[in-house]
Amino acid sequence: MDLIKNKICRITGSYINPKHPETQNEIAEIKQKEAQKIKEEKKIAEQRKLENEYSRYIQQCEYIGFKRNTDKMGECVLKMYDTEIKLAQLNVQQRRANSSDVLTNMYLLNEGLKLLNPPQPRSLNCQARPFGTFMNIYCN
């Protein structure tokens, strides 16, 4: 009995049972933390993007002559943002109209090509073969 007490025990490896409820809870917590971290990083990236966009508007408004941290500056920034959104919407509508026009033009071009190059009749290869007193004609 005394021999066992004096021995040093070292753990050289361990096994984690992924099906154990405690392990599943830990895995779920880790996944939740990772998802939350990714969500926060996306939120920070979106805020930086928005800050960069607003700083661009602020620089443009300053160039026009507005002073920082004034109501007029805020109105200028909002007006620039609103104008840019409207322009983007107009561009989308124009692209849709243009794509419709392109399809129409492609159809008309295809029909015009058909008129200029009508389909040629297939050439037939025919042979006449006697069959008794009759003559049979075979065409490919």
Q: What is the pLDDT of residues 41-67, one digit of tens each?
A: 999 998 888 888 888 888 888 888 888
pLDDT of 99 strictly over 90 = no
What is the domain extent for residue 104? 22-114
Q: Is residue 61 part of a domain?
A: yes
Q: Is residue 139 part of a domain?
A: no
Q: Calculate what percentage of the chain has a pLDDT beyond 70.
A: 70
Q: Residue 102's pLDDT is what? A: 67
Q: Is residue 122 part of a domain?
A: no
Q: Is residue 79 part of a domain?
A: yes
Q: How far is CA 137 from CA 98, 125, 126, 132, in A?
A: 56, 10, 7, 13
How far is it, in rounded angstroms, from Cα 122 to Cα 100?
A: 36
How far is it, in rounded angstroms, from Cα 126 to Cα 62?
A: 86
Using 50, 70 and 90 to split pLDDT, how confident is the model at 76? confident
Number of domains in the chain: 1
Q: Residue 4's pLDDT is what? A: 59
Average pLDDT over residues 92-112: 68
Q: Is residue 46 part of a domain?
A: yes
Q: Is residue 95 part of a domain?
A: yes
Q: Is residue 5 part of a domain?
A: no
Q: Residue 28's pLDDT is what? A: 85
Rg (CA), the chain: 40
Q: How far, rounded to the nearest angstrom, does the alpha carbon of residue 124 sit from its chain's CA centroid?
A: 52
Q: Residue 9's pLDDT is what? A: 67
Whole-model pTM: value is 0.39
Using 50, 70 and 90 to split pLDDT, how confident is the model at 98? low
